[in-house]
Amino acid sequence: MTQKVAVLGTGKIGEALLSGMIRAGWAPADLLVTARRPERADELRTRYGVNPVSNPEAAKTADTLILTVKPQDMGALLDELAPHIPADRLVISGAAGIPTSFFEERLAAGTPVVRVMTNTPALVDEAMSVISAGSHATPEHVAHAEEIFGAVGKTLRVPESQQDACTALSGSGPAYFFYLVEAMTDAGILLGLPRDKAHDLIVQSAIGAAVMLRDSGEHPVKLRENVTSPAGTTINAIRELENHGVRAALIAALEAARDRSRELASGKKD
């Protein structure tokens, strides 16, 4: 791994990616970082042994640029970078909702761009990163993005037309599970359990269920049916979920997330 890779805007996700790459075998000397605050840059240098640089220096020096700033800051970053990025640099965007065409229009003609939507489990090496090629990106560019993001979890290639749906499902997905655990914890307290015990019960149940979904090969309906005995406790709970429209609410929520991703692509902020 001799190529130089720069992570620009190294926040939580950028740092998770950086630390994962080092664990996967990248040499810190081959990794560059940029940060808005000097104290943050010093923190990254001390923690990982990487070299903090300015955005223009990263553009001139690195073979691959990973842009992890917020979507609303991407335009300004590209304005700063564009004069310094040669057309042979691979640009990887981690910004929700922004299509590869946004970058291609602002960078030198022919610049390869790969779009990646990852999620916060990158912090524990369990990310789901969805990868799409821009019009100038080759299979080798996509494979390189897979190698990088594979350091913090699983990767999946999809057509860019599916990125907004993937953002709704997996990009925002961890928040839905956290929300569900929060609600179930409150229910446990209502049923008479201390908060810490309710939390432990729910978290381990969630981990066990996720491992079964991943490893059993069974459809989720089959796994649910295995828990649902006739006239038992589970079917009564599921009846209430259906009575309260939980399934319909989830579908509507994901459609709303998908629509917001499209709005971000169009430049709408409010």
List the end-to-end C-alpha distance of the chain, in Å, as a whole number.
42
Considering the chain, what is the average pLDDT of its residues? 94
Q: Which of 129, 134, 126, 128 is nearest to 109 (CA)?
A: 134
CA atoms within 13 A on the CB side of 212: 15
Here the tokens at position 38 are 């000097």
| pLDDT at site 2 | 65
Cβ neighbours for 216, distance < 8 A, ≥ 6 positions apart: 223
127/3: higher pLDDT: 127
Q: Is the pLDDT of residue 167 over 60?
A: yes
What pLDDT, on the 0 to 100 scale, is given for residue 262? 86
pLDDT tens for 78-124 read 999 999 999 999 999 998 889 999 999 999 999 999 999 999 999 99
pLDDT at site 235: 97
The answer, yes or no, to whether residue 1 has pLDDT greater than 60, is no
pLDDT tens digit string along 192-242? 999 999 999 999 999 999 999 999 999 999 999 999 999 999 999 999 999
Question: Using CB atoms within 10 A of its CB, is residue 132 exposed (0-12), middle (13-18) or buried (19+)?
Answer: buried
Give the pLDDT score at 125.
94
> What's residue 22's pLDDT?
95
* The pTM of the whole model exceeds 0.85: yes
- Arithmetic mean of pLDDT, 37-50: 94
Given a cut of 90, whether residue 266 has pLDDT beyond it is no
Q: pLDDT band at residue 156, thresholds of 50, 70 and 90?
A: very high
Give the closest residue to 56 by CA, choosing from 45, 65, 43.
65
* Mean pLDDT, residues 26-48: 94
Q: What's the pLDDT score for residue 117?
A: 95
Q: How wide is the angle at C-alpha 142 spanned by C-alphas 140 and 145, nearest 5°?
A: 110
Does residue 267 surpass a pLDDT of 70? no
